[in-house]
Structure 1
Amino acid sequence: MMRVVLATHNAHKAREFQTILARGVSELEIVTYDGPEPVEDGATFAENALIKARFAAAHTGLPALADDSGICVDIMGGAPGVFSARWSGRHGDDQANLQLLLDQLADVPDAHRGAHFSCTIALVAGGAEETVEGVWSGRLARAARGANGFGYDPIFLPDGEGGASAAEISPERKSAVSHRARAFAALTPLLAALPR
């Protein structure tokens, strides 16, 4: 069994990674990270994911995974981007972040409300570093809709979902088509190639 540390203290996220990756990689155990947190001061999702993965790999001696993700609005030059979780100034305040973004786009016509979710996963193992990215394109609604999901899901209208928000589609559907699902699909062959 190969052990890979996930650079998070969030046991729920570790279980999610384990479940998704087990479909494509046999004999893989995802473990949570119990060490100190690095400063995420990268300017891109890839930089932040690598900072976390390098830190966890150095601290544990295990191959390490880390992810960074957020929403990128076309008319805002890709913002909030890496600042998605703290857009309102308070880290992790989903409702305040979502409301601020809606307020900032209040006068923007529907034709210019294009956006995408982006997820980058970094893998650091044996001195090698890899990053993979998943992108989920769509546009932003004018008001929150739906009870599934979290973060910006209630205002994100993904392409190909008939106008439903990411918080209105089923969790199963979301886990199959989201930015994270696409990043995981690109990550699986990298993990499968690691020496056992």
Structure 2
Amino acid sequence: MGRQTVGCVPVLVDAATGTPSVLLVRPLSPAAVWRFPASPVGSGERSRKAASRGALAQAGVKGEVVGPTLGSPVALTAPGNRKVWLLHVTDVHDRWSKGWKGRNKWERRWLTFPDARALLKREEPSKHRAKVLELLNDAATRLVYQRAAAAAAVAAAAAAATATVHAPPPVACDWSTELDVDSDESEAEA
């Protein structure tokens, strides 16, 4: 059996609009199909590190490999299938950067999720197209959940900060003098 191959779905979120883009790659050859970056796991190398290395070599991007693997558990255990993670992109090498070793071998394309889906569906059917579409859909779903969780965490932190800021400190007070009440004396005088 050969070495395990792992990959990632690179995602970059536009800071101004919050719109996520996904990166597809393909070799610079006439019959190549669009897919996600992947790489074999080296001897003694961790799977996530190999996925990150593949993204840099094939797509010229760096980032944080996050979360559990994408794709259905059944598909991941089938022979020949690979583990794939979401990659939150933090650095993008341009076409002329020496940091992108595969710049003369790979084409890359940033697309919105709907545009990526449309591009993949227009391509000539291949044995990998269904898997790439499944990974794309799973990545989109994962992003929705991550964004919702992040928004909930921000809201909870804001609510906690507001609650602690407006709580008055406890004050020791003798209410009888504050209200000018002499309970025993006022009854005796009457």
Same fold (TM over 0.5): no
Band the TM-score falls in, shorter-chain normalisation: under 0.3
Bigger Rg, structure 1 or 2? 2
Q: Which has the higher contact order (CA 8 A, sep 6+)?
A: 2
